[in-house]
Chains A and B, each alone.
Chain A
């Protein structure tokens, strides 16, 4: 079995990503139904999104604007004239058994998104950004795990049917070698940040408002591109990276053994990090695309597009560059912060009063470790930037040592409340009463006469034992530095 490193030593990957983003508009793409997440099934429907006989679509202006803005943020050209098209196929969650989408006339095309991995810049080409409508949602009943296989019936909810969906397709990305998994992840992370900055979607992968399909192919070094497979159900940033990695290994091993890759759609599994075979794309469905006759063409006004472009907010890359300068960081430092998904968190912590260094220390240190152990996103840790700022303030004021602060943080992460509340509840506090400390120091000296002798003799390093004893007595709530000074001063006369 070839390892990942073996594979990249012999083969080159080419990746491509298709991302679907649910827009956060008030209403659906082609009708006025509300789009509230989590509503009672089949209560946000009307003749149009249910596909009742005689119903007709009418395009949502806000969705067009949001899509143009996404295209502009991705450096795309905006079509001066384009149409919607019908993509025809049958499925029970499709109210009309055709999806109104765009085919050979996407609203935006030919752009790029720059992403950085370990200080190296990769320009990911954007093939197209187009608009379509989402399908309903099915529950599969009767099978083992709620999946299609083995189910006896399916139950369909059409609330989601018709919600505007923006599809962003990259151009194939070659020449990234062993970095492919990270580049893929970095692209999705950056894309998510861009869209969030634009305010057009909440892009929550875990809620399905951002979905990724990852395409991977391998070819022998220097040869033409190989057959690509598509992996669906990639529901987190971590999965994006893992799916590319595992697919490269899988394909590499097949090719090494003289086999060939079947063009197919694979299904990614979070739990195993592996994908299984799905639809064979060799007998791909014939969608019989044709221009949507119920809608008239879109012709975005050039002046309007210019205005939208001028009004774009500061995009993530520029934003990060500004913060890097403001915080006095190196590019590599910022990259680490970005990789950890901590840019916004640190920014918010600084806004609450902490220094950039302190904020960075907490988010990239304790909190990143905590998140990684649990396999969760940093933002879902359970502690807010405000709480981190509060914690640091307590350290700065001398009310907590660094070590004590870590204990308090544990309490905050466990849901025990704000830092001050945790301190009170758990009785954590720096002992600053010099009197009490002196007593503890004298007790330690009395209990360790030979150590005391050594210190009097000039061996200051030996003070460590006494400091340790005092820390034990004070349950770690003394400031070690203060204790050391006290020990030395008590033994210096």
Chain B
């Protein structure tokens, strides 16, 4: 069944401006798709239908008054439930925050609202953004819109499924080690993890402070550039936010003639699925035909990025998640005899296994006697990765590789093997450690499922990687239209999710 929300934001923006369609109609279509498909996908934890319709009406009225509206005005957007939304339940995918209603908005959400975007709801995710498959949610797994028996990727699985199924035109996800790029690659979407500090983290429920970033998940590069621009910019409430200007849409179609591209051979790992590697290579060949100067290069430190990440991220997380103690908000275990028991029981009952694992690994890595060998060492390995990248960028404008070593796997495949699950992020982690911008573009299929090619550049080079992604996208011609043809997929035990 057709829906207006199946189109891209830039297309819709034109239609809205021309009066061919109203924001209310568009939002109604999106909400309709959500209603029909959320049970099967379990992508939304909260649907904000009333607020969305009211916001859509306001946009239409503003347009009728002749107000000048931006490119995101009237566009239905889904927001990952890790960003606080004032007055709307925010859970970070965890039972410890079940029913938590924040009294304030995240800056990125405020900017969306200011841009006139219509927030249709909060999406499901791996608990506290810890996971690569969205099977770690406290509210049930999310299902891949192309094949309900498969994972959409994580931790921004709900956002990815929402865009890929047409429940929203675009979505906000977050990325710490690959959480926006991996699900985008699995679901055939474009997503970008910007330079660290590009988008304010104020209101982003923290997982790993030195790695977390908010980014757009869209069906094409133009939409990604537009949405990223809308949410970027300095925020005095975030001491790590950049002051640099954010213009990502100008010259998007300039082409990549003469662009120096480096293929990082370490990203083509041993355990990688051959079909995926082949698809990525074909994508890289297209870069050549587009006029880029492509060469192989080696960044040996990339082999150690996963190890360093799995010390730094859990360490910071163990501290960031300490605030969930049942005192001021969230789940409080009843009948405790004293406050320590109350805290211990609340956290035991409220956190899932993966979160407990990471909190414990992190606590271990920071503890007396282990700090030097773990946390400090990992931060030094991180410096090695950063320096290698800096050196590489002396010779290359951008670097490329696969986004993921595999296509979307089946639900249940890796849940019992944490390390196997961690390996899904092997190609996305190094960019997170360095804080450099990285984009994933769908460039083909392997075993009938989407494959993403990753392009990453030095700090502040979003415009350049977007330009390269745009050129590749035009050439690859991947069909990004939403799919919700569930009848032909194996039906899973769909969780109740949302009405």
CB closest chain-B residue, reference A87: B319
Query: Counting CB contacts under 8 A, is B236 at the interface?
Result: yes
* A47-B209 contact, Cβ under 8 Å, with A57-B239, A59-B239: no
| B103 neighbours in A (Cβ, 8 Å) | 47, 52
Check if B316 sits within 8 Å of A293, measured CB to CB: yes
Considering the complex, give the chain A residue whose CB is closest to the CB of B343: A90
Which of A91-99, A232-240, A262-270, A367-375 is found at the contact surface with chain B? A91-99
Q: Give B143 Cβ to nearest chain A Cβ, in Å.
A: 27
Interface presence of A395 (CB below 8 A): no
Q: Is B460 an interface residue (CB 8 A)?
A: no
In the assembled complex, the Cα of A56 lies from the Cα of B323 at a distance in Å of 13
Most buried by A among B210, B328, B371: B328
Residues of chain B within 8 A of A47, CB atoms compared: 103-104
In A31-52, the 8 Å CB interface with B consists of 47, 50-52
* Contact (Cβ within 8 A) A53 B363: no
CB pair A286 B323 closer than 8 Å: no
Residue interface mask B220-246, A partner, CB < 8 A = 1: 000000000000000011111000000
User: Count the A residues whose beta carbon is within 8 Å of the partner chain — how many?
Assistant: 29
The residue of chain B having its C-beta at the shortest distance from the C-beta of A156 within the complex is B327
Q: Which of A52, A286, A296 has the most CB of B within 10 A?
A: A52
Q: CB distance A97 to B239 under 8 Å?
A: no
Residues of B within 8 A of A53 (CB): 84, 90, 92, 97, 100, 102, 205-206, 323-324, 329
A-contacting residues, B320-359, CB 8 Å? 322-325, 327-329, 339-340, 343
Q: Is the pair B319, A98 in contact by a Cβ cutoff of 8 Å?
A: yes
A296 to B196, CA, bound (A): 13
With A96-B323, A290-B315, A293-B316 known to touch, is A51 a contact of B328 (CB < 8 Å)?
yes
A51 to B327, CA, bound (A): 11
User: Hey, which chain B residues are within 8 Å of A289, CB to CB?
Assistant: 366
B240-A294 in contact (CB<8A): yes
A97 touches B339 (CB 8 A): no
Q: Are A288 and B325 in contact (CB under 8 A)?
A: no
Given A53-B205, A288-B367, A293-B210, A98 and B322 contact (CB-CB distance below 8 Å) = yes
Bound CA span A173–B90, Å: 54
Cross-chain contact B328 with A95 (CB below 8 angstroms): yes
Main secondary structure of the interface of B (DSSP, over half): loop
Check A290 against B375 for contact (C-beta < 8 Å): yes
Residues of A within 8 A of B83 (CB): 54
Is B201 among interface residues, defined by CB-CB distance under 8 A?
A: yes
Measured CA separation A288–B372 after assembly (Å)? 11
Contact between chains at B239 and A294 (CB < 8 Å): yes
Residues on the B chain within 8 Å of A57, using CB: 239
Residue of B106, B316, B319 near A54 (CB, 8 A) is B106
Decide: A154 and B339 in contact? CB cutoff 8 A: yes
**Residue B160 is within 8 A (CB to CB) of chain A in the complex:** no
Q: Closest Cβ of chain B: how far from A479's Cβ, in Å? A: 70
Are the C-beta atoms of A97 and B323 separated by less than 8 Å?
Answer: yes
**Interface residue A58 (Cβ < 8 Å from any Cβ of B):** yes
Q: A47-B104, A290-B375 are in contact. Are A97 and B322 (CB under 8 A)?
A: yes
Residues of A within 8 A of B204 (CB): 54
Which chain A positions have C-beta within 8 A of B339?
92, 154
Contact A90 B206 (CB under 8 A): no
Chain B nearest CB, measured from A148 CB (Å): 11
Inter-chain CA distance A57–B241, complex, in Å, is 12
- In the complex, per-residue mask of B75-91: 1 if CB is within 8 Å of any chain A CB, else 0: 00000000110000010
- Please give, as numbers and ranges, the residues of chain B lying within 8 Å of A86 by CB-CB distance: 319
Q: How far is the CB of B88 from chain A (nearest CB, A)?
A: 13
Of the listed residues A97, A293, A295, A296, the one surrounded by the most CB atoms of chain B closer than 10 A to its CB is A293
Question: Which residues of B lie under 8 Å from residue A90 when comparing CB positions?
Answer: 322, 325, 340, 343
A290 cross-chain contacts in B, Cβ below 8 A: 315-316, 319, 366, 371, 375
Which residues of A79-105 are within 8 A (CB) of B? 86, 88, 90, 92, 95-98
CB distance from B253 to the nearest CB of A (A): 36
The answer to whether A3 has its CB under 8 Å from any CB of chain B is no
In-complex Cβ contact of B240 among A55, A156, A296 (8 A): A296
A52–B202 Cα distance when bound, in Å, is: 11
Contacts of B340 in A (CB 8 A): 90
Complexed CA–CA distance, A47 and B316 (Å): 20
Q: Are B239 and A88 in contact (CB under 8 A)?
A: no
Q: Is B487 an interface residue (CB 8 A)?
A: no
B368 contacts the other chain (CB 8 A): yes
Asked if A92 and B327 sit within 8 Å, CB to CB, the answer is yes
Task: Tell me if B203 counts as interface (CB < 8 A to partner A).
Answer: yes
**In the complex, what's the smallest C-beta–C-beta distance from A364 to chain B, in angstroms?**
50
Report the separation of the CA atoms of residues A416 and B329 in the bound assembly, to the nearest whole angstrom.
53
CB atoms of B371 and A293 under 8 A apart: no
Selected from B100, B209, B323, B343, the residue in CB contact (under 8 A) with A293 is: B209
A54–B206 CB distance below 8 A: yes
From 82 to 135 in chain A, residues with beta carbon under 8 angstroms from any chain B beta carbon are 86, 88, 90, 92, 95-98
Provide the B363-392 mask, 1 if CB < 8 A to any CB of A, else 0. Answer: 100111001000100000000000000000
Please, how many angstroms separate the alpha-carbon atoms of A50 and B202 in the complex?
Answer: 14
B162-180 toward A: CB 8 Å interface, digit per residue (1/0)?
A: 0000000000000000000
Chain B residues near A59 (CB, 8 Å)? 239
**Contact present for B205 and A96 (CB under 8 Å):** no
Measured between alpha carbons, how far is A98 from B316 in the docked complex, in Å? 12
Q: CA separation between A299 and B372, bound complex, in Å?
A: 25
Q: Mark B271-308, 1 if CB is under 8 A from A, else 0.
A: 00000000000000000000000000000000000000
Contacts of B343 in A (CB 8 A): 90
Nearest chain A CB to B363 CB, angstrom units:
7
Instruction: Evaluate contact between A88 and B328: CB separation under 8 angstroms.
Output: no
- Name the A residues within 8 Å of B367 (CB-CB): 286, 288
Q: How far in angstroms is the closest Cβ of chain A from B111?
A: 15
Of all chain B residues, the one with the shortest Cβ separation from A45 is B328
**Residues on A with beta carbons closer than 8 Å to the beta carbon of B328:** 50-52, 95
Chain A residue with the shortest CB-CB distance to B326: A92
Q: Of all chain B residues, which has the CB nearest A51? A: B323
Over the window 57-93 of chain A, the binary record of Cβ atoms lying under 8 Å from chain B Cβ atoms (1 yes, 0 no) is 1110000000000000000000000000010101010
Residues of B within 8 A of A156 (CB): 327
Q: B322 and A55: CB pair below 8 A?
A: no
Q: How far is the CA of A56 from the CA of B371 in the complex (A)?
A: 24
Q: Which residues of A contact B323 (CB under 8 A)?
A: 51, 53, 95-97
- B368 to chain A: which residues have CB within 8 Å? 286, 288
Q: Which residues of B contact A (CB under 8 A)?
A: 83-84, 90, 92, 97, 100, 102-104, 106, 201-206, 209-210, 236-240, 315-316, 318-319, 322-325, 327-329, 339-340, 343, 363, 366-368, 371, 375
Task: List 11 A-B pairs, Cβ < 8 Å.
Answer: A47-B103, A52-B84, A54-B203, A56-B201, A58-B237, A92-B327, A98-B322, A288-B318, A290-B315, A295-B239, A295-B240
Q: A88-B366, A290-B316, A290-B371 are in contact. List 12 more A-B contacts (CB 8 A).
A: A51-B328, A52-B102, A53-B92, A53-B97, A56-B202, A88-B322, A286-B368, A288-B363, A289-B366, A290-B375, A293-B210, A293-B316
